[in-house]
Amino acid sequence: MNAPNRHLLGIEGMAPPTILEILDLAESYALLNRSGKTRRDLLRGRTLINLFFEDSTRTRTSFELAGKRLGADVINMAVSQSSVSKGETLVDTATTLNAMNCDLLVVRHNRSGAPALLAQKVDAAVINAGDGTHEHPTQALLDALTIRRRKGRLEGLVVAICGDIAHSRVARSNILLLTTMNCRVRVVGPPTLIPTAIENFGAEVFHDMRAGLAGADIVMALRVQKERMSGGSVPSAREYFAFYGLDAAKLAYAKPDALVMHPGPMNRGVEIDSAVADDPTRSLIREQVEMGVAVRMAVLDLLARGGI
Ligand code: ASP
Ligand code: CP
C-alpha cells in the first residue's frame, strides 16, 4: 500500500477507496454538525492558517469553521494587509508562517501549482483551496458528498457540467473525481469555453444544452469566470443566458428528478436563473455549502492523523 499523502493538492491520482474514506468520514461530520455537537479535542493545540491570495466566501469560512469545530487555533491571514504588499514572495511568506509552527496551511492562489510549490518548502500539511485553473479538490469532494446523499450513489449517474469549463478548477476536479467513481460526465458549453482534449479526461463534449442535458441526473452550472478571460470568449451576458443559462425550460431536457448544483458564487441571470437556483425541490446549492464544512472537517482530521 502507498504511504498516505501528507498534503491535499488535488484529486488527480486519488483512488476510489481514498475518496470513499473521505466521503464516509465527512458523512459522519455532516451528522455531527446537524446535531450541534463539536469535537474540540481532535485538533487541540494545532494551528491552521488560511492563506488566501484570491477572494473567497465559502471556502475560507468553512475551513475556519471546520478548524474551530475540531479545536484548532485558526488564523486568517489578511494577504492584502500583509508584507506581500511590500514585495515578499509567496515562498517567503509561507516559510515565515511555517517557522511559527503552523500545522495546516490552507492556500488559495491565482497561479496553478502554487500550493504544490509550497508543499515542497514547508513542514505544514498544505491543502489546496483552489489554484488558478488547475484544481479545487475540497469542492469536488463536497459536490460528490452532496450528490451521494441525495441520489444514494455515484456510480452510473449522468452528470452534466455546464458553462465555463475552460477556466474552471471546479470542473477539472469534478471531472477527475466523478469519472474515477464511474459517473458518466458530460461537459456542455460554447466551443470557446471548452478546453481542447477534455475528452482525454473521460468527459463527453456537447455544445447544445438540449443534447447535453438529455437524461442527466445532475446538472451543474458554473460561473462565467470573467477574471480569468482575456476578453472575447463570450458574447453578451444576455446572449450567453439565452443559449447556456440554466432555466426551467432547459432543465426540462434533463431527467424529471434531475437536481441542480452550482459551486458559487453565482451570476444570477447569466449562467443560472434565480427560479431554478432558489427552487428547494431541485436545487442542492445550500446543501453544497453545508457539506463543505463536513468535508473540510474530514480532510483536516485525516491530515492531522498523518495523511490522506
Ligand atoms: N468558487 C469557485 C472557485 O473558487 C468557483 C468560482 O469562483 O466560480 O473556483
Ligand atoms: N465555491 C467556492 O470555492 O466559493 P468561494 O470562492 O466563495 O470560496
What distance in angstroms lies between residue 132's CA and the mean position of ligand 1's atoms?
10
Residue of minimum CA distance from atom 5 in ligand 2: 56
| pTM given for the model | 0.97
Q: From the CA of 225, which ligand is nearest? A: 1
Mean pLDDT of 231-250: 89
Closest Cα to residue 153, out of 97, 248, 217? 217
Mean pLDDT of 270-274: 97
**Minimum-distance ligand 2 atom for the alpha carbon of 130:** 3
For the stretch 204-240, what's the b/e string if a residue is b when 16 or more beta carbons lie within 10 angstroms of its beta carbon? ebbeebeebbeebbbbbbbbbbeeeeeeebbeeeeeb
**DSSP of 249-297:** HHHTTS-TT-EEE--S---BTTTB-HHHHT-TTTB-HHHHHHHHHHHHH
**Is omega for the bond preceding 265 within 30 degrees of 0, making it cis?**
yes
pLDDT in tens, 217-236: 999 999 998 887 776 777 78
Residue of minimum CA distance from atom 1 in ligand 1: 264
Cell 458574447 maps to which residue?
A: 235
Residue 307 has pLDDT above 70, yes or no: yes
pLDDT in tens, 51-93: 999 999 999 999 999 999 999 999 999 898 899 999 999 999 9
**Minimum-distance ligand 1 atom for the alpha carbon of 170:** 9
The per-residue pLDDT of the chain, averaged, comes to 95
**Minimum-distance ligand 2 atom for the alpha carbon of 54:** 6
Residue 256's pLDDT is 98
Mean pLDDT of 39-57: 95
Residue 185 pairs in a beta bridge with 159
Report residue 29 as a C-alpha cell. 461530520
All residues at 6 or more sequence positions from 257 whose CB lies less than 8 Å from its CB, including other chains: 217
Residue 225's pLDDT is 87
Task: Determine contact, residues 18/308, Cβ cutoff 8 Å.
Answer: yes
pLDDT in tens, 112-131: 999 999 999 999 999 999 99
Q: From the CA of 170, which ligand is nearest? A: 1
For the stretch 165-187, what's the b/e string if a residue is b when 16 or more beta carbons lie within 10 angstroms of its beta carbon? bbbbbbbbbbbbbbbbbebbbbb
Q: Backbone phi, then psi, for 150, in 5-degree steps? A: -85, -35
110 lines ligand 2 (CB under 6 A): no
Probe ligand 2: pick from 58, 128, 172, max atoms within 8 Å of CB?
58
Nearest-angstrom CA–CA distance, 14 and 12:
6
